[in-house]
A and B are shown apart, each in its own frame.
Chain A
Amino acid sequence: MPVPSVATAETAPRVSAHLEGGCLHVVLGGRWRITAPRPAWADALRGTEDAGNPPPARVELKFAGDLLGWDSALVLFVGEALRWCRGHDAYCDLSALPGPLRRLADQLTGAADPADAPPPEPAENFLAHVGHAAMDMWQKAGEITAFVCECALGAARVVLAPRKFRWRDCFDEMQQCGAMALPIVGLISFLTGVTLAYTGAIVLRQYGGDIYLADLIGLAMVREMGAVMAAVVLAGRTGAAFAATLGNMKAGEEIDALTTFGIRPVDFLVLPRVVALGVMMPLLALYADAMGVIGGMAVSYGLLNISVTAYWHEMMMTVTQRSINIGLIKATAFGLIVGLSGCLRGLEADRSAAGVGRAATSAVVTALLLLVIADAFFAVAFNALGW
């Protein structure tokens, strides 16, 4: 019972099948290309099944004289045939096909049921997932605590033996995270001052209290925005760089090399960086305070015609040494937070390029999250102290 060929064009892949005494003869012709559409095994079967015959017990595949060429497309077709035969208890006779095609088809069906690959992890239900996530979080909290304690111990060791501290690395990092960050910190703080001035002016002008803009900007910059802006810039600039550097060192086994020499990675890599940030951050915050005040001054002068001297005198009445101290305390804490998060994420990075990228991202996110939490904590604490 001949089946009409599937394709009409001269070179299109063709399958014709006819049933003869329980044996399905399948003849393959045309040019089989993986980039062109090909007939499916179901197409070969269709004619025979329609006639209501019993399924064949034997399938024979062979090439027609006009088979112009074949590639993986034909392998897929033969694979379908093999699977169909396995499912229907039919014997599939491929002996008429060329050897390479037979081998490829065997590999294809063999690939479908890998023998020695490890079994996939069973999918967890919702409760197990929540449980694992909770345990994971608990473990992470433990790791962060252990890391901070290790750093504190390291700091104690530095105090006891200051000669062993990596001063040179520390100074290099200071230059990197301090001096090199001046332009960006300056620009952002100046613009923060400008923004504060415009926002404050909306309300203060209604009451004719233009001059109090100086107090608003001065206090906001010194107590809050200077430290926060410097810390945000350094979290993105330096924290991410720490994570990427340490993550890359881990991938290159440099951290292992330190460990096997009995040198603590925390002492060697983390402390110089954290100390550098802890020292530079208050300085940057002071600089940010100044730039913010200048920004506010510029707007006040240009927009509200407040003279620079009047502005300065007004500001100095509210901004006290204590306000500046509060900003500096915060900045130091923020510097430690940014440094520690960057180093922690770098040290626990996966040993791969993607791992280093994730470490850098995660360092910034961790730093910003902890910054906001710490800032809120300081707000409450200073309020309680009456500062």
Chain B
Amino acid sequence: MTGATANVPVIAVAGLECRYGANVVLRDVTFSVRRGEIFFVIGGSGCGKSTLLRNLIGLHPPAAGRVEFFGESFADAGEARRRELLRTFGVLYQGGALWSSLTLNENVALPLAEYTALTAAERDELVALKLAQVGLSGYGDHYPAELSGGMRKRAGLARALALDPAVVFFDEPSAGLDPLTSRKLDDLIREIRDTLGTTCVVVSHELASIFAIADRVLMLDKSAKGVVAAGDPRELARGGNAQAREFLLRGENQP
């Protein structure tokens, strides 16, 4: 992921349609995410945020339209290329989704063992670094069940960062966290972007996080079944789109 791809958007989505059976959840979704930005997908509950995420990361095939990472689509890629494309991003799932039968060390080490030729010693060192990055040094031998929800999410983030992906997807990072822990996770997201240049795509409806770290937002709506607004959250909060303004202003006036 170096210079050659600099001008290509990290993610380009064109005319995406998502559906479950006959039920259309989203239609004609078009947007692109630039390198190194923190991009939020926002909207009320049930508007299709998580569905969009599942489509983006290839867990659910799009009914129509294209999703491209650095100009390439999962749909066109062969098996081997698909595995390489999968390596360009990491995902922090809502509950962390750590593999419950493995310790934190093993969780972070598994993608490394799968994709790299590192020696066991190098791998251990890297795992320790990743856990330190998310503030979980010394918890490597714990099992996920022994951790709090916030720690599990941070461990999930360490695992998502294991292969130094160009993009990290966050599914509702603040869900189930108290405001302070959620704030710390926001700071962590920004720090990762600033230090590693990682592009962050965050699915969230947490207004505090949106105003704290989002560079741009994409707002989805249930009744519109698609995008209603996109842009800088502060501008949207003052801007012409009534729906986006209403959604965002409810948070800006809060202390």
Residues of A within 8 A of B (CB): 116, 118, 169, 248-249, 252-254, 256-263
Contact B59–A254 (Cβ < 8 Å): no
- Closest B residue to A169 by CB, please name it: B101
Question: Which residues in A have their C-beta under 8 angstroms from that of B114?
Answer: 261-263
Q: Which of B97, B111, B223 contacts A254 (CB 8 A)?
A: B97
Q: Of residues 58 to 76 in B, which have CB atoms within 8 Å of A's CB atoms? A: 58-59
Q: Digit string of B83-110 for contact with A (CB within 8 Å is 1, else 0)?
A: 1001101110111011111000000001
B27 within 8 A of A: no
**Main SS at interface, chain A:** helix
Nearest-neighbor residue (CB-CB) of A257 within chain B:
B97
Closest to B99 in A: A254
Which positions in B face A, CB cutoff 8 Å? 23, 57-59, 82-83, 86-87, 89-91, 93-95, 97-101, 110-111, 114-115, 159, 223
Q: What residue in chain B is nearest A172 (Cβ atoms)?
A: B101
Closest chain B residue, CB of each to CB of A258: B99
Residues of chain A contacted by B83 (CB below 8 angstroms): 262
Contact B82 A262 (CB under 8 A): yes
Q: How far is the CA of A256 from the CA of B95 in the complex (A)?
A: 12
Q: Which of B23, B83, B101 has the most chain A CB atoms closer than 10 A to its own CB?
A: B101
- In the bound complex, what is the Cα–Cα distance between A260 and B88 (angstroms)? 10
Q: Is the CB of B58 within 8 A of A260?
A: yes
Query: A260, B100: Cβ atoms under 8 Å?
Result: no
User: Could you tell me the distance between the alpha carbons of A256 and B97 in the complex, rounded to whole angstroms?
Assistant: 8
- Contact across chains for A254 and B91 when beta carbons are under 8 A apart: no
For A254, the chain B residues whose CB sits under 8 A away are: 97-100
Say whether B91 contacts A257, CB under 8 Å: yes
Q: Which residue of B lies closest to A256 (CB)?
A: B59
Q: Which 3 A-B pairs have the closest CB atoms?
A: A253-B97, A262-B86, A262-B83
A169 neighbours in B (Cβ, 8 Å): 101
Give the residue name and chain of the B residue nearest to A121 (CB).
B22
Flag if B99 contacts A259 (CB, 8 Å): no
A-B contact pairs, 13 of them (CB 8 A): A116-B223, A118-B23, A253-B93, A253-B95, A253-B97, A256-B59, A258-B99, A260-B58, A260-B59, A261-B86, A261-B111, A261-B114, A263-B114
Shortest distance in angstroms between A267's beta carbon and chain B's nearest beta carbon?
10
Q: Chain B residues near A258: list those with CB within 8 A.
A: 99
Chain B residue, CB-CB nearest to A116:
B223
**Minimum Cβ distance to chain B for residue A268 (Å):** 9
Closest to B114 in A: A263
Chain B residues within 8 Å of A252, by CB: 95, 97, 100
CA distance A165 to B232 in the complex (A): 48
CB distance from A207 to the nearest CB of B (A): 57
Which residues of B lie under 8 Å from residue A116 when comparing CB positions?
223
Instruction: Enumerate chain A residues within 8 angstroms of B115, measured Cβ to Cβ.
Output: 262
